[in-house]
Amino acid sequence: LTDSAAGSKGGVDIADLVARAREGQPRAVGRLVSLVESAAPELREVMAALAPDSGRAYVMGITGAPGVGKSTTTSALVRAYRELGQRVGVLAVDPSSPFSGGALLGDRVRMQEHATDPNVFIRSMASRGHLGGLAAATPQALRVLDATGVDVVIVETVGVGQSEIEVAAAVDTTVVLLAPGMGDGIQAAKAGILEIGDVFGVNKSDREGAAATARELRNMVALADRAADQWVPPVVSFSAISGDGIADLVAALAAHRAHLVDSDQLVGRRVRRAAAEIEALALGTLRAQIGDIHGDARLEVLARDVAVGATDAYSAADRLVDALIGSAKINP
Ligand SMILES: Nc1nc2c(ncn2[C@@H]2O[C@H](COP(=O)(O)OP(=O)(O)O)[C@@H](O)[C@H]2O)c(=O)[nH]1
Ligand SMILES: [Mg+2]
């Protein structure tokens, strides 16, 4: 009944919800992530309240083909950070599913050992329908987890392709995961995923071919052009299932973080991603204010002119933009 207390908006008392999330109450954290997923109008108030708590947690992303071991690795990392006494947040992002948790059922099983740990927050998020798409939803969900006072957030992407690259843009350190026997080396290069890796992990080192995969990857990394002072992404082999080599992965992540801090790049990365977030929200707002132009009467008239050669499509587009901006509620 606290949700309908005085001062509430749309049935949700935002101040109370934010206060409870700050105390680390899992239900409140879950509700805030749900608001992010659905791009609820209350988000404005939530994000304003969370802003002073932003930017404390170190954020790492784990990406790679389905089945490569992202969830198992995430679980192993959670264990390692808990042993170091750190509080950990996990955000599983599934851009392809309208329902959070749909494709993540198996992952829940792999995260089971942490489910009852009060210092571990595990949330999944879908982003369909979000005003600024994944580019805005991911940083907002990260801010929610950040506000709970976690030291580290691990983002696991369920999707492949463009969505992985978008999520990689929202973290401090990106781990690209590969495993032997999946033809991953070639796949990764094709998907442009090699460029986004700050650390490369070869999981399933207990399997045949792991050493060859690591060697192939090291060669590819060595071939890339980079300035003398630039970070050279390490290739770390480990077995997420047995835990062998996970300490090396933790060390590689810490080294990358130290590199970003020492070279003054951490702030730069965060500024760039805040810019991407603002841009995504601003374009979403513009699109919402302009509305659906398909079937717009002005478009129909212009289309007829272009079809009969009375004008060209560029001129028509310019006129449509002028008309749309003129009718949208935007302050110049
Ligand atoms: N042999 C072996 N199997 C692993 C290892 N890590 C994960 N797996 C298995 O690989 C499968 C996919 O793992 P999962 O973490 O769900 O991959 P994701 O789809 O990338 O999240 C599961 O059956 C895991 O048990 C490992 O280090 N060695
Ligand atoms: Mg998974």
- Site to probe by mutation for ligand 1, drawn from 241, 242, 244, 246 as the one with most ligand atoms within 8 Å of Cβ, is 241
CB 106 near ligand 1, within 6 Å: yes
Ligand nearest to the CA of 110: 1
Non-local (6+) Cβ contacts of 145 within 8 A are 29, 57, 89, 91, 121, 123, 153
| Token couple for 141 | 């969900």
CB 273 near ligand 1, within 6 Å: no
**What distances in angstroms separate CA 325 from CA 286, 302, 306, 322, one per listed residue?**
9, 16, 21, 5
| pLDDT of res. 123 | 84
Non-local (6+) Cβ contacts of 71 within 8 A are 92, 106, 107, 110, 111, 156
CB 75 near ligand 1, within 6 Å: no
CB 240 near ligand 1, within 6 Å: yes
In the reported structure, the alpha carbon of residue 103 is separated from the centroid of ligand 2 by a whole-number distance in angstroms of 8
Non-local (6+) Cβ contacts of 252 within 8 A are 199, 234, 236
| pLDDT of res. 109 | 63
CB 237 near ligand 1, within 6 Å: no
pTM of the model: 0.84
Nearest ligand 1 atom to alpha carbon 75? 15
CB 181 near ligand 1, within 6 Å: no
pLDDT tens-digit profile, the chain (332 residues): 333 344 444 567 999 999 999 998 988 998 998 888 888 889 899 999 999 888 899 999 998 888 889 999 999 999 999 999 999 999 988 766 555 444 454 566 667 778 788 899 888 887 665 666 666 788 889 999 999 889 999 998 876 666 677 777 789 999 999 999 776 555 555 556 778 899 999 999 999 999 998 998 898 888 888 888 899 999 999 999 999 999 999 999 999 999 999 999 999 989 988 888 888 888 888 888 887 788 889 999 999 999 999 999 999 999 998 988 877 655 54
How far is CA 202 from its chain centroid? 22
In the reported structure, the alpha carbon of residue 69 is separated from the centroid of ligand 2 by a whole-number distance in angstroms of 7
In the block, tokens 């079809």 appear at 307
The Cα–Cα gap between 4 and 296 comes to: 41
- Site to probe by mutation for ligand 1, drawn from 72, 202, 207 as the one with most ligand atoms within 8 Å of Cβ, is 72
Contact indicator for 151, 88 with CB cutoff of 8 Å: yes
| pLDDT of res. 4 | 39
Kind plus residue range of the DSSP H or E element containing 122: strand 120-125
* SS3 state at 239: coil
| pLDDT of res. 161 | 65
In the reported structure, the alpha carbon of residue 249 is separated from the centroid of ligand 2 by a whole-number distance in angstroms of 18
The Cα–Cα gap between 151 and 149 comes to: 6
In the reported structure, the alpha carbon of residue 288 is separated from the centroid of ligand 2 by a whole-number distance in angstroms of 33
Contact indicator for 138, 166 with CB cutoff of 8 Å: yes
Beta bridge partners of 199: 175
* Residue nearest to ligand 1 atom 17, measured at CA: 69
CB 68 near ligand 1, within 6 Å: yes
